[in-house]
Structure 1
């Protein structure tokens, strides 16, 4: 099996209260008869109108397997899915009177708007909130992913990015999604860049966001989402096609108070102890987003004398093929401090990183067969900023909040 998969995100939340269900063709979602009874709702937002469709089917089966033995009282799970040959639909996990768990369609959406369009993401989130009125929400994004690698999408974007002029050539990168609609454009795959995705998610709604997708554990990605969740879970490298083992992680995720570190540990152990040695590759990190601004302030001061980017030689790389390259954020920052001395200490930085990254694991080797140094593994990647880089990707990087927050004002040559 090829490791070119960008993890599926299966959010998993189950619902045990009696629901007024609508047919899949209804325009308006129907709410629960006891809206105040839902303590936790998890939304899995799955863009599977690509080569990951079969994986979504497997992941939904894993969710049902986990739900079978769980007490779902006060818990709700919603799955938004889009596939190539079906309408985009919002599903709800429900246990029937016979005790069997199943997914019931509660709303369908037209495909005139891509599922990677900020308008669709925002609309689905609002529908889920209206349907469940839960006390707490979690969000899992499931699809392809390439971190901050831009697709230069044609969606409405931030004003500073609108003023930028990119080439009309579509890049082969995708940040998140890769939505295909044969009825609109058979050969076109739509993606959403991380800044657009952040704008599509309301502030203060989700207490956690988990990217079951490749390359999304980057400091720039996390910083864009700093107001969107309290805890952020993602992988700095690729992830194998099976993605998250939902049958093992859902019991920890779909709880009134999720245990995300235990869920991350289950994910990592699934791969590190896999019966097939070819699957024993995985990375993951869990971040306490209440600490990210402190890290940003430290980097702003540590990078204050930035005049030259560290060489990529010897930096731990989390990339393969055309994606990235991304480098280890912790190691990169230490190199910047060595080359551009300030009064900031590496000991302070390590302490802050220990408070920010509350769980991290990595196998001994990455998808390229290269060793992963435990001493240089922070669980978080970063872009290697260079003042001499005038590429379109570097121009895009200048629009991201992390760049604006931590780097001195260095003009591109």
Structure 2
């Protein structure tokens, strides 16, 4: 089953803009942002992971920055790399630490790796990129699903991620499918100032790191993250056919409590007795995907009174500071896009509702009032 979409592009990578790469921001080293990347590719994404590593090395050309990558790659033992500038097809980055065989999806392993990588940061600000398969909030219970990563059949659940991911990050970025849901982002809202993620799938060609590394270390955090997302969107939007498929959102995590409170007020005032689901904008487009997600504001607009939704829409406009989508995704139209997805229940999924109603979003927003077990 494919949780991340596979494509092979018969084209050259876009050459980085020299006007950006030829310049270096003058930043005091102790204040410059460190980028940490956790790649879970002990699976069928391994070739794409090598491409991402190579793109990071290319993105370091002319850039004064520190980027550390833990890479669990199928066929080799895991390593932590310090990325160095290189434009060859080989991985030339410095191996900082090597490990024996280990399960990169195991919560204890992941926690230990991230603690080690945070040790390289010192007092400098940092951002974390999580790169792998993903299926939104779905847990590893009942059937073999996961929230994030897949290592020889083992998975990492959302509530484990909440305990694993360090707090105090400048940004958290998911280079993985379907993680810009209200359920995922709310559960992890205290980890970083901003989150970048896609509410739909992510093509296996991944984030164009050769183009975005310079933006991830921009001293102006929000500007840099918006530029990262814009670059990602432009990279895919200039392609043709099914390859022209992308959604991306930048979220200011300071407004999550306000959103949950406004949703809870609306659902308390006007409880939902009937759920309109059939005509909602889907934001999962892979027919094999199990991570059904619907556009959040489309759900609000079609299921709540307009007056009840006013405060919700106002908060989303502050929460989502940047969003973009191609007109179609895998040939299917995107007609409505708020930048966030949400779960909408149906009876076929009742087996998972007890887990869902234990998520913090379900409890704080009042979604558990209509996600019935």
Normalised-by-shorter TM-score class: 0.7 to 0.9
**What corresponds to 1:266 in structure 2?**
231
Of residues 282, 302, 318, the one that matches 1:355 is 318
Query: What is aligned with 1:250?
Result: 213
Output aligned runs, 1:6-405, within 5 Å: 37=30, 39-70=32-63, 72=64, 75-94=65-84, 102-112=92-102, 114-152=103-141, 167=142, 171-180=143-152, 189-203=153-167, 205-258=168-221, 259-274=224-239, 276-304=240-268, 305-319=270-284, 320-321=286-287, 322-338=289-305, 345-367=308-330, 369-373=331-335, 376-385=336-345, 391-405=350-364
Q: Does 1:407 align with 2:366?
A: yes
Question: How high is the TM-score relative to the length of structure 1?
Answer: 0.77
CA shift, 1:101, in A, is: 9.7
Distance, in Å, in 1 between the alignment partners of 2:242 and 2:348 is 37
What is the alpha-carbon distance in structure 2 between the residues aligned to residue 330 and residue 37 of structure 1?
41
1:207 Cα deviation after fit: 1.2
CA distance in 2, matches of 1:61, 1:243: 12
Give secondary structure in 1 for the equivalent of 2:328: coil
Measured in 2, the distance between the counterparts of 1:257 and 1:116 equals 33
Deviations 1:1-21 (CA, angstroms, capped at 9, x unpaired): x994389xxxxxxxxxxxxxx
After superposition, the C-alpha distances for 1:128-173 in whole angstroms (9 at most, x for unaligned) are 1222314101000001111012222xxxxxxxxxxxxxx4xxx243
Mean CA deviation greater in 227-236 or 316-325: 316-325
How far is 1:308 from its partner? 2.2
- How far apart are 1:108 and its partner, in Å? 1.9
RMSD: 2.6
Q: Is the 8 A contact 2:6 2:205 kept in 1?
A: no
> CA deviation digits over 1:331-374, x for unaligned, max 9?
11223313xx8xx543332221110101011111122x22111x
Give the Cα–Cα distance (whole angstroms) in 2 for the partners of residues 391 and 360 of structure 1. Answer: 31
Name the CA distance, whole Å, in 2 between partners of 1:90 and 1:301.
46
Change (3 A) 1:408 1:231: closer
C-alpha contact 1:285 1:360 (8 A) present in aligned 2? yes
Q: 8 Å contact 1:365–1:372 — kept in the other structure?
A: yes
Secondary structure of the structure 2 residue equivalent to 1:140: strand
Q: How many residue pairs get matched?
A: 343
- Point out where structure 1 has 5 or more consecutive residues left out of the alignment: 8-35, 153-166, 181-188
Deviations 1:386-406 (A, max 9, x none): 6x6772321210111000111
8 A Cα contact 2:195 2:250, kept in partner: yes
Between stretches 131-140 and 214-223, larger displacement belongs to 131-140
Post-superposition shift, 1:240?
A: 1.4
| Distance across 1 between alignment mates of 2:62 and 2:367 | 53
Q: How many Å separate the matches in 2 of 1:47 and 1:228?
A: 20
Deviations 1:222-271 (A, max 9, x none): 00111101101111111212111111111101334440001100000111
Over 3 Å counting, the alpha-carbon distance change for 1:6 and 1:131 in structure 2 is: farther
